[in-house]
Each structure stands twice: as structure tokens, then as C-alpha cells.
Amino acid sequence: MTPLSLKRITRDLKNYTFVINENNIVNVQYKNYQVSFFLNEDYPFKPPFLYLDNKLLNYKYNYFPQRIFKLYIDNGHECPCCTNISCHGRWSPVFNVLNIVDEYNLIKTNMVRSYKKHITSFIKNLPDDVLGIIKEYI
């Protein structure tokens, strides 16, 4: 870990309690996630690989349920594996690790919205009160 990487991550996470262990693994609680990543000497010039709740954050199409992923794309969203900020062609030092988590949450929220929209399109003939209960459930 370089002094620049350490200085940058300290600035990025100044409002959060975080720990850097002897292997340069950073752990921080952010929103509903336990975020972990290896603080390498390339940060902030290259994105880190993030783990959310001990699972590698991955935008590849096979990471998401296929039906939901297809609906997301069909509803006009771009492929998240090609357009997320942690892609090497899109990453910039202006971003930080928390931006990656926020983007992931936005993509996940949009996928759920696409799925809800799809599901409710099948049940248009139901009474409004029943429809409201179904929408709350999903």
C-alpha cells in the first residue's frame, strides 16, 4: 500500500468506521453492507475489487437472475457489466469505493422496478385493492 492509497482511502471513508488489516484488506460498514476490498497500490487510479457481505461484487449477466436481467435490458437500460464505473475504461480517480456500492444499489433497484412493472402488466384486470396488495408483496 502506498501513502497515496492510504491517504485517499482515509479521505474517502472519513465519515465511516473502517479497519485496514495487515494484508491491506479494508473493511467498512456502509448502508446495509459489510464492504471489503484489497487496498492495492493502484488505488485510486484503478478500481478495487469489492466484496459485499463476503460476496464478490460482479456485474456479469450470469450474476443476476436471467429473467430479471433480460427485463432490465428490455426496458432500455444498458448492460451493467459494460457500463458500470468499475470498468477499467470508465473508472476515474474522481470515483471512490462507496460510489461503486451506490451504483450497484441503483442497478439492483432498477432491476426490481423492471420486474415489478412486468409482473403488474399481467394482472391489469384485478381490482385495485388486490393489485395494491400484490405490489406491496413484490
Question: Whole-prediction pTM value?
Answer: 0.78
**Reported confidence tier of residue 99, pLDDT bands at 50, 70, 90:** very high
Residue 138: its pLDDT value, please?
65
Average pLDDT over residues 94-102: 93
Q: What are the domain boundaries of the chain?
A: 3-137
Please tell us whether the domain made up of 3-137 is placed in CATH 3.40.198: no
Q: Label residue 35 exposed, middle or buried (CB < 10 Å: 0-12, 13-18, 19+).
A: buried
Residue 124: its pLDDT value, please?
67
| Tens-digit pLDDT profile for residues 12-42 | 999 999 999 999 999 999 998 999 999 888 8
- Residue 4 has, within 13 A of its CA and on its CB side, a CA count of 8
The answer, yes or no, to whether residue 129 has pLDDT greater than 70, is yes
Helix 3-12 to helix 97-121 angle, to the nearest 10 degrees? Answer: 50
